[in-house]
């Protein structure tokens, strides 16, 4: 009996059958969002962007804007999409564009800490946290801020910045700040996955500093576009200052491509046959159902359970289908090493501040890689594969 497979075409790396019988390594460590490629292939030329050689040559986009390198059409597209989905407030906010949300997170850390009278500012996030936060806060060994670990156990006096990812990466849980202080704290809300194909849109987020990324919405990670919605003009200016020094702005070619694709999302989001969010929701739902089927057919693994909630965008009650699976092993064993023996690479729980019995598994790979992952997972502890 074989694990049921999604319909998928042969990729550059070979067919599903070839991979399952080979020693090919399946890399589900990185969140490379190639799962949605089939949708965009069907769009053909509708989102094709042609840029003349003489266009987009200047550094500057709008010198009157706080973020002077933000293309005006991208700003309009971002506001229109958030308005259509209803997931974030854009009124009375400054939009800062960056080379992905990772760069924006670093810009936000710089901005908030440099405006603090006391330094270094403590950086915290509740366990399990996005592993790259540790690297972003520690890599430059800045005197402005210092990584202090788990927000739940943080008790150090002085100013702090809490990083709140919601839905959380790696476990998909909706998050709120956990450090309970009246003064001295700032919060960066990373909302990369707060889109209706991953989780029900229960309310319009309305925070001082919110981060979003083009890659995790549509799968276009190679364009390296992210944006921040910022209330405080001084914070926005500091972020722009960081981005100016770091990369002198953001690629206009990437901004132009992102504008075209975001506009397509907005235009078709209410057309069921064309909506990317309908397509993405069904795909993620199917993958989670198949993963749970494999996990529940044995007694080796655990997965989080997510409550259903009413989604304002879809107008119905839905379950969460996160971009990552927080897979646990019931025995006290290094699950990442165990899966590596099966030629599957994942991100160890220790990198997220947790036990090595947990791993983060990307749910955003190509169909054939996901199929082979399920087949290999099912061989651990003699789990039986089942047909869909």
- Span 277-298, mean pLDDT? 97
Is residue 381 pLDDT above 70, yes or no? no
Q: What is the pLDDT of residue 10?
A: 40
- What domains, with CATH codes, occur in the chain? 26-41+273-382 (3.90.1150.10), 58-269 (3.40.640.10)
Q: What is the pLDDT of residue 18?
A: 52
Q: What is the pLDDT of residues 117-154, one digit of tens each?
A: 999 999 999 999 999 999 999 999 999 999 999 999 99
Interacting residues of 62 by C-beta distance below 8 A, sequence separation 6+: 68, 70, 71, 72
Q: What is the pLDDT of residue 220?
A: 98
Q: How far apart are CA 341 and CA 319, in angstroms?
A: 32
**Residue spans of alpha helices (H) in 193-269:** 214-218, 233-247, 252-268
Q: What is the pLDDT of residue 8?
A: 38
Is residue 356 pLDDT above 70, yes or no? yes
- Span 27-37, mean pLDDT? 97
Q: What is the pLDDT of residue 183?
A: 84
> Residue 78 burial (CB < 10 Å; 0-12/13-18/19+)?
buried
Higher pLDDT, 49 or 384: 49
Q: What is the pLDDT of residue 22?
A: 67
| Least confident span in 93-97, 155-159, 217-221 | 155-159
**3-class DSSP state for residue 181?**
coil
Reported pTM: 0.92
Q: What is the pLDDT of residues 217-251, one digit of tens each?
A: 999 999 999 999 999 999 999 999 999 999 999 99
Q: What is the pLDDT of residue 207?
A: 98
Q: What is the pLDDT of residues 55-93, one digit of tens each?
A: 999 999 999 999 999 999 999 999 999 999 999 999 999
Q: How far apart are CA 52 and CA 47, in angstroms?
A: 16
Q: What is the pLDDT of residue 9?
A: 39
| Least confident span in 28-42, 81-95, 342-356, 368-382 | 368-382
At residue 182 the predicted structure's pLDDT band, cuts being 50, 70 and 90, is confident
The rounded mean pLDDT for the chain is: 93
Is residue 204 pLDDT above 70, yes or no? yes
How many CA atoms are closer than 13 Å to the CA of 187, on its beta-carbon side? 21
> Residue 200 burial (CB < 10 Å; 0-12/13-18/19+)?
buried
Q: What is the pLDDT of residue 209?
A: 98
Q: What is the pLDDT of residues 4-30, one digit of tens each?
A: 334 333 443 444 455 555 689 999 999
Q: What is the pLDDT of residue 3?
A: 39
Q: How far apart are CA 215 and CA 224, in angstroms?
A: 7
- Span 85-112, mean pLDDT? 98
């Amino acid at each position: 009996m074989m694990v049921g497979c999604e319909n998928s075409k042969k990729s550059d790396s070979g067919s599903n059958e070839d991979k399952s019988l080979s020693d090919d390594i399946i890399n589900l460590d990185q969140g490379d969002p190639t799962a949605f490629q089939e949708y965009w292939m069907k769009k053909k030329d509708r989102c094709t962007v042609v840029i003349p050689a003489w266009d987009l040559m200047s550094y500057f986009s709008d010198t009157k804007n706080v973020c002077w390198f933000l293309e005006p059409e991208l700003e309009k597209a971002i506001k229109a999409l958030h308005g259509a989905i209803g997931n974030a407030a854009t009124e009375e906010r400054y939009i800062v564009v960056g080379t992905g949300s990772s760069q924006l997170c670093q810009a936000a850390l710089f901005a908030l800490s440099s405006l603090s009278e006391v330094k270094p500012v403590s950086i915290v996030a509740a366990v399990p946290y996005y592993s790259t936060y540790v690297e972003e806060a520690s890599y430059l060994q800045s005197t402005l801020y210092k990584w202090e670990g788990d927000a739940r156990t943080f008790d150090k006096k002085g100013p702090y910045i809490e990083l709140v990812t919601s839905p959380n990466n790696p476990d998909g849980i909706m998050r709120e700040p956990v450090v309970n202080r009246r003064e001295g704290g700032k919060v960066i809300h990373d909302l990369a996955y707060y889109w209706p194909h991953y989780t029900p849109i229960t309310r319009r987020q309305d925070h001082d500093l919110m981060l979003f990324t083009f890659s995790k919405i549509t799968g276009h990670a190679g364009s390296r576009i992210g944006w921040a919605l910022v209330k405080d003009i001084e914070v926005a200016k500091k972020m722009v200052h960081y981005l100016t020094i770091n990369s002198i702005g953001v690629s206009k070619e990437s901004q132009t491509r992102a504008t075209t694709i975001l506009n397509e999302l907005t235009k078709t989001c209410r057309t069921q046959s064309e909506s990317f969010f309908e397509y993405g929701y069904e795909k993620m739902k199917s993958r989670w159902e198949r993963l749970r089927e494999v996990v529940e057919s044995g007694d080796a693994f655990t997965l989080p359970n997510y409550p259903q909630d009413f989604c304002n965008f879809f107008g119905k009650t839905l379950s969460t289908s996160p971009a990552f699976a927080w897979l646990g092993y019931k025995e006290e064993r290094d699950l990442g090493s165990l899966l590596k023996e099966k030629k599957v690479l994942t991100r160890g729980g220790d990198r997220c501040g947790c036990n090595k019995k947990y791993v983060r598994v990307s749910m955003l790979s190509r169909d054939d890689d996901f199929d082979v992952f399920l087949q290999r997972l099912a061989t651990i502890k003699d789990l039986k594969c089942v047909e869909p």
